[in-house]
Structure 1
Amino acid sequence: MTNYVGVVEDDANIQNIVSAYLKKEGFDITVMETAEEAWDLWESQPPDLWILDIMLPGMDGYEFCKKIRQESDVPIIIISAKDDEVDKILGLELGGDDYLTKPFSPRELIARVKRVLKRSQPSLQDDHSLPDKIKAGALFIHENDRRIFWHGQEEDITTKEFDMLLLLAKNVNRAFSREELLIKIWGEDYFGSDRAVDDLVKRIRKKLPDIPLETVWGYGYRLREEEE
């Protein structure tokens, strides 16, 4: 299956270079100059990954990244001329999966694209090695087809929301530190802030009201065992 990449960049030279390398690697792409164009694409034909410049006319890349993260965990690689540490941290905390400073090697960008996609699209496992269904109180998970039911109602959730719920449901009452959750859900090479964990928990609690997903103060989170 060919991955579809959205490139949001207003510099024509960078557009051409990035497009050429992505096409050479077999990716389908759409190039846009503004975040407003990108948002229209997101609503009509969402890409599997975004390559996003920060300094854009109109809505900037930070705001676009924030809007996307309110709806999806689709991978976002930020490319920017801003190389200060605070800019990188902000980009990652707003939901970027990686941050590449201009000027960059196109080959390095391709390597990062492949790595992020591999991490976000885990290979299918043998169905016989997986439990078919997992139940934790009113939470019911179909692991093989990645479906979540809360009080009998199927919920629309993102990839990382599913991964966290699955991990916690398999380990009811076990407390996980924020660092453990970052590694298990985002991967060992993720170097953003552990605030990403807090933001993910906040989204889960909003979608699944009254879920016994408890904060372990100063440490992390656990899913408490609870009868329906």
Structure 2
Amino acid sequence: MKQTIGIVEDDPNIRDIVKAYLEKEGYHVAEMESAEAAWELFQQAPPDLWVLDIMLPGMDGYEFCKQVRKDSQVPIIIISAKDEEVDRILGLELGGDDYLTKPFSPRELVARVKRQLTRWEAMNTNTATAANETLEVGELSLYMAERRAVWGGAEVEVTAKEFDMLKLLAQHPNRAFSREELLVQIWGEDYFGSDRAVDDLVKRLRKKLADFPLETVWGYGYRLRKDGIES
């Protein structure tokens, strides 16, 4: 069965180009010019991945992403003319899995779509085989099937990437990971962005988990300090 990609973009030229490239790769494409139309599709027959513009008439892409994340972790690739760091961080904080700035290469977008779908399929497979698995390290509890995180007895709302980083660090307490290692482990070997994505993710986790002992290893990367997590 063909996988369906939902394109939410009000520029018909961009929609046509993206659609042509995705269909050439064998995907089925559902195209919409507004978040309201996309929301209707989400409620009736949600696609396997969203390509989402931010600047939309009516409901913007940020709000749509936020609404989708209340019920689904399906991959969302944000495309936007906004290239400021604050816009990129906001898009990722609201649940975007990737962020691509306009103008972009359609071939690069297709590569990112393939990568996100591969990771999504692998995550679902791992979830199915570890339905009852819980990872507990000190005050941190990670519920794999539900992808829920509890820190200090309180549940913390985390994105897919934030959960993946918590899982990796909790599985290897006290081990220092370089930024490059974290990029490969969490974003995949074919990630096109810079290691700033790692720093952005760490900032978000530190903001959400008060006193979480996620330490900076200066000039290298990050580690989860075991004595801090078990105190």
TM-aligned CA deviation for residue 165 of structure 1: 0.4
Note closer, same or farther for the CA distance 1:90–1:179 as it changes in structure 2 (3 Å cut): farther
Would the aligned equivalents of 2:10 and 2:32 in 1 still touch at CA under 8 Å? no
Residue of structure 1 in register with 2:129 after alignment: 127
Note closer, same or farther for the CA distance 1:39–1:204 as it changes in structure 2 (3 Å cut): farther
TM-score by length of 1: 0.67
Residue of structure 2 in register with 1:194 after alignment: 195
Structure 1 segment 1-228 matched on structure 2, within 5 A: 5-16=5-16, 18-19=18-19, 25=26, 27=28, 29-32=30-33, 37=35, 41=39, 49-52=49-52, 64=61, 74-76=75-77, 78=79, 96-97=98-99, 104=106, 110=110, 112-123=112-123, 124-125=125-126, 127=129, 132-226=133-227, 227-228=230-231
1:125-145, CA deviations, whole angstroms, 9 ceiling, x for partnerless residues?
3737x9922222200122344
1:135-181, CA deviations, whole angstroms, 9 ceiling, x for partnerless residues?
22200122344222112223221111111001100110111111111
Would the aligned equivalents of 2:141 and 2:151 in 1 still touch at CA under 8 Å? yes
SS at match of 2:166: helix
What is the identity percentage for the equivalent residue pairs of Structure 1 and Structure 2? 48
Q: Distance in 1 between matches of 2:177 and 2:19?
A: 41
Would the aligned equivalents of 1:8 and 1:53 in 2 still touch at CA under 8 Å? yes
TM-aligned CA deviation for residue 115 of structure 1: 2.9
TM-aligned CA deviation for residue 38 of structure 1: 6.6
More off after superposition, 167-176 vs 218-227: 218-227
Q: Distance in 1 between matches of 2:51 and 2:197?
A: 20
Q: Distance in 2 between matches of 1:156 and 1:57?
A: 26
Q: Where do 5+ consecutive residues of structure 1 fail to align? A: 81-86
Aligned residues: 211
Q: Where do 5+ consecutive residues of structure 2 fail to align? A: 93-97
TM-score by length of 2: 0.67
